[in-house]
Chain A
Amino acid sequence: MASDERPPLNPRDLADLDFQLSDEERMIRDTVRAFVADRVTPNAAEWFEQGTLPRELAPELGKLGLLGMHLRGYGCAGASATAYGLACMELEAGDSGVRSLVSVQGSLAMYAIWRWGSEEQKREWLPRMASGEALGCFGLTEPDSGSDPGSMRTHARRVGGDWVLRGQKMWITNGSIADVAVVWARTDEGIRGFLVPRGTPGFTTQDIKGKLSLRASVTSELLLDDVRLPGDALLPGATSLRGPLSCLNEARFGIVWGVVGAARACFEAALDYSREREQFGKPIASFQLVQERLAEMAVEVNRAGLLALQLGRLKDAGRLHHQQVSLGKLANTNAALAVARSARQVLGANGIILEYPVIRHMANLETVVTYEGTADIHRLVLGEALTGVSAFR
């Protein structure tokens, strides 16, 4: 090919990920990017500082079709896994809290209902959740049960045709603002899922205060004090830990992409800053050590993007294994954290204030590396895949 026929090298997409995307995928990405630039980026610092995410954002995301976008039917868009990944990437380039809202709504709460729910449950909840009119949350973690969800204490017992739920859930994203909680509990028949509408007697929530990470997101404790639910509150399809784990696998796939967005935002902030900030009479971008940082950041961002795309294509081809999602989550969250920390130093003192996005992303990523399976747990998953020996179960 003649050299002048090649599109110019794009410093913000060195690996030319764009080339691998279809027109439709690009249009979806560009739309989410424009929405984020308009609605998220200008407000993210304020939301982070105030420790909130405005509830109105959910219907806006719903109108775009981003809630449960990769599910089919019931008002969902039925997009590809890759398109879902691209949307997560753009949302998290804005703020991990916004991406978390979309992940929890679409991949945890809606997916649980879509995959394991009855026809009536799907009809009742999915269209309203897709539009953002109703919010969902996903209660698996407990105060004494994190990486080892099989040790959960929350339990449900049958009383006549009803169920009575008792226990406590902790670290639940959107817990106090959700219209319906998907709660996992142990029963005589194994671990099962329940739909608990807000306001059910005995069901209360309390927000977790003092977070220094993922502040633009509500995180709550769910208290279930002998909550009596009708028999049809049970998700009929899920009968073991496989139920919640299947949902987590969906959400993790979105994280593999999302953190590339956070990393890219940090890299771009550092790149722009380094060209404007002058010290010793010239832009700091002209110093070799700063260029080394920028080059390393670019390597991480591009490599993470390519890995995410590969997993997206595998998922769309129906051949993705959960261990590959672990590979992606481990690699990309670590890469994003490394980029954020390096970018933060390029910004000097400005790297610690909310006026620039870097410290916010850096703090957020400490949550992202922990939830949906800590980095170490994913190392153990890979260890098991490599050796055939489980070191943690």
Chain B
Amino acid sequence: MKICCLVKEVPDAAVQKRIDPNTMRLDRSGEKNLNPFDTHALEAAMQIRESGVVQVDEIVAVTMGPESAVRALHKAVALGADRSVHLTDPALEGSDVNATGYALAKVLESEQPDLVLLGQQSDDGECYTIGAVVADHLQVPSLTQVIKIDVAEGKLTCERQAEYGYDTVEVELPAVISVGDAINEPRYPSLKAIMGAKKKPLDTKSAADVGIDTSEVGIEGSKTRVLAINPPPAKEPGEVFEDEDTDETVNKIVAWLEERKLV
């Protein structure tokens, strides 16, 4: 089995996020890091390999991004990927979710993995959709919010987080699975793995290398346009119950919850 993990470089969690009013895009200057949600995808790939149920021949980390994204790939490799692919091209800059999904699908077509894993969201754009877009372009099944994966030959049995409880879904391979962060506790990269990361193969690919039609990507090729950006509306203040008589307060709280069908 060959597994590709889609990973992304995002602004570090400690960096205050800001929209650049000129480009209407996220300001991506400052400290960057591997999208923490993707570390769960890498860990899931490692656990499939270590379970020994199927033989995992290769785990490949794939990213699309500027030159600096190489660092996210080094981290992905330190976390267990055997090699990495970096799709980078000026033509890709400004791609929206759909264009990005198309571009990544083209890389994956050239890799032919049995399984594609990715984090459920990126820590910057938080679209939650890239997995479905990639799957649609590849015409393979896709599952989101997966919190448990059992592998068998040619198929997976997954648990998907649902609003109440979870769904158990069987899916044939190849498939694109985006994992929730409850799926596992990602390991720390060991020092040796960090020091060995730069020695593992990293292929840099241009749009042309993987057969991307550049009219479908970049700002021009993107089908969405950001018209305006506004801060979220201020939250209405909550209701405060002063505790004078505890029994009465408890009744009030229970009534409040019942009214909203929360108990």
Contacts and interface: CB of A to CB of B under 8 A. Distances in A.
Contacts of A23: 71, 74
Contact of B189 (A7, A27, A69): A27
B75 interface: yes
A208 interface: no
A79 B195 contact: yes
B194 A28 contact: yes
B30 A24 contact: no
Nearest to B186: A34
B80 to A, nearest CB: 14
Given A27-B74, A27-B78, A78-B195, A64 B190 contact: yes
A65 interface: yes
A158 interface: no
Contacts of B31: 7, 18
Nearest to B34: A27
A197 B71 CA distance: 44
Nearest to B187: A63
A68 to B, nearest CB: 11
A245 B190 CA distance: 30
Q: Is the interface of A mostly helix, strand, loop or mixed?
A: helix
Interface string A339-374: 000000000000000000000000000000000000
Given A7-B29, A7-B30, A24 B198 contact: yes
Interface residues of B, number: 17
Interface residues of A, number: 21
The residue in B31, B71, B191, B197 that gathers the most chain A C-beta atoms within 10 A of its C-beta is B191
Interface string A2-27: 00010110000000001000011001
A66 interface: yes
A64 B188 contact: yes
A28 B191 contact: yes
A29 to B, nearest CB: 10
B261 interface: no
A266 B188 CA distance: 26
A28 B194 CA distance: 7
Nearest to A65: B191
B192 interface: yes
Nearest to A83: B191
The residue in A7, A8, A31, A34 that gathers the most chain B C-beta atoms within 10 A of its C-beta is A31
Contacts of A24: 74, 194-195, 197-198
A63 B190 contact: yes
Interface string B195-216: 1011000000000000000000
B191 A8 contact: no
A90 to B, nearest CB: 12
A188 to B, nearest CB: 42
Q: Is the interface of B mostly helix, strand, loop or mixed?
A: helix
Given A7-B29, A27-B74, A77 B191 contact: yes
Contacts of A83: 191
Contacts of B30: 7-8
Contacts of B74: 23-24, 27
A29 B195 CA distance: 12
A205 to B, nearest CB: 31
A47 interface: no
A162 to B, nearest CB: 39
Given A7-B29, A7-B31, A8-B30, A27 B75 contact: yes
Contacts of B195: 24, 77-79
Nearest to B193: A65
Interface in B214-249: none
A74 interface: no
Interface in A211-261: none
A179 to B, nearest CB: 22
Nearest to B29: A7
A63 B188 CA distance: 9
The residue in A18, A27, A30 that gathers the most chain B C-beta atoms within 10 A of its C-beta is A27
Interface in B37-71: 71
B188 A34 contact: yes
A99 to B, nearest CB: 16
A31 B188 contact: yes
Contacts of B198: 24
Contacts of B29: 5, 7
Nearest to B68: A23
The residue in B29, B33, B78, B188 that gathers the most chain A C-beta atoms within 10 A of its C-beta is B188
B191 A64 contact: yes
Contacts of A63: 188, 190
A83 B157 CA distance: 42
A7 B16 CA distance: 12
Interface of B: 29-31, 33, 71, 74-75, 78, 188-192, 194-195, 197-198
Given A18-B31, A24-B194, A65-B192, 9 more contacts: A7-B31, A8-B30, A28-B191, A31-B194, A35-B188, A64-B188, A69-B191, A79-B191, A79-B195
10 contacts: A7-B30, A7-B31, A18-B31, A27-B75, A30-B33, A31-B189, A35-B188, A63-B188, A77-B192, A77-B195
